[in-house]
Amino acid sequence: QKEVEQDPGPLSVPEGAIVSLNCTYSNSAFQYFMWYRQYSRKGPELLMYTYSSGNKEDGRFTAQVDKSSKYISLFIRDSQPSDSATYLCAMSGETSGSRLTFGEGTQLTVNP
């Protein structure tokens, strides 16, 4: 079983929809949680970063971490066609050294 599970999709939504992307994990030592966005034929870019539990908001994006359930989410409000990309979750802990563990990525398409 993978340490981080992420539904690969694909997920297709109409413009303006609220999008919910999720990851579950098994390692209770994970404390640092990130979301990356990867456009086609590009490298991943860091979108959101959260430490431990709680919420973090940045414009239309909200990241949530529920450590008790080992579940993290990324919400995109008022989704735009420019949000069409693959979204990868990533996480690490004190025992991870400098390595991140990535989810497989969810492919999102926002239709005009």
Partner 1 sequence: NAGVTQTPKFQVLKTGQSMTLQCAQDMNHNSMYWYRQDPGMGLRLIYYSASEGTTDKGEVPNGYNVSRLNKREFSLRLESAAPSQTSVYFCASSADRGRLGYTFGSGTRLTVV
Binding site for partner 1 (CB under 8 A): 8, 32, 34, 36, 41-46, 49, 51, 88, 90, 92, 96-100, 102-105
Q: Which residue has the tokens 């973090």?
A: 56
Which of 25, 102 has the CB closer to partner 1?
102
Find the shortest distance in angstroms from Cβ 112 to partner 1: 26
Residue 35 main-chain phi, psi, to 5 deg: -125, 135
Q: Would you say how long the chain is, in residues?
A: 112
Find the shortest distance in angstroms from Cβ 45 to partner 1: 7
Other CB atoms within a 10 A radius of the CB of residue 4 amount to: 21
